[in-house]
Amino acid sequence: MKLRKGSDGAAGFKFRIVVATFNRGVTRQLLAACLKEFTRQGVGAGDIEVVQVPGAFELPLVASTLAQSGGVDAVICLGAVIRGDTPHFEYISTEASRGIGQAAMETGVPIIFGVLTTDTVAQARERADPGKFNRGGAAAQSAIEMARVMRRIRGKADKLTSDRLAGARKIRRKG
């Protein structure tokens, strides 16, 4: 069995973060933890771009656009959808998660789901608390690991393709 893991450190990787401004008190803490984790892992400030959007519903479109722009190893979507008295929560959380997953599949770039979906504001604050397990930092860790895995997989695929092309050239020269 082969286990494909990335190497240590994240220097040289390029990341984009899309953060919703709705529920700003929570999303600001998610973003801060995300940036802190990138710094801890050696990602340079010039290798990170942050784009703000109004809410979680807008995350997938911007994430997809950033992923398609090239030169990015992973995109992180940060947001907070908190249940209220209407079905709005279900619509937004469902479409945000579906759209983020679809964007990743269509672009081939890891797009990390860092959107809190909680029943209460207190739950959201707890998951964004810098003194606890902040989900923004966890999203950065996921993005780094996925960037490593995809680079290794793509590197092996590129090597196989170039080896096959070299082999085909040798056959043509002989024939």
Q: Which residue has the higher pLDDT, 175 or 52?
A: 52
CB 74 within 8 A of CB 143: yes
Strands 48-53 and 15-20: parallel
* Range among 63-67, 88-92, 131-135 with highest mean pLDDT value: 63-67
Strand order of the sheet with strand 74-82? Answer: 48-53, 15-20, 74-82, 111-118
Q: φ, ψ for residue 3 (rounded to 5)?
A: -110, 120
What fold characterizes domain 15-174?
Rossmann fold (3.40.50)
Dist CA 116 CA 113 (whole Å): 9
pLDDT bracket for residue 4 (50, 70, 90): very low
Q: Of 24, 88, 154, 169, which one is the catalytic site residue?
A: 88
pLDDT bracket for residue 6 (50, 70, 90): very low
Domain ranges of the chain: 15-174
Q: DSSP label at 16?
A: E
Is pLDDT at 164 greater than 70 in this prediction?
no
Catalytic site includes residue 106: no
Count the neighbouring beta carbons within 10 Å of the beta carbon of residue 162. 10
Per-residue model confidence as pLDDT tens digits over 74-127: 999 999 999 988 888 999 999 999 999 999 999 999 999 999 999 999 999 999
pLDDT number for residue 3: 40
Q: How many CA atoms lie within 13 A of 104 on its CB side?
A: 18
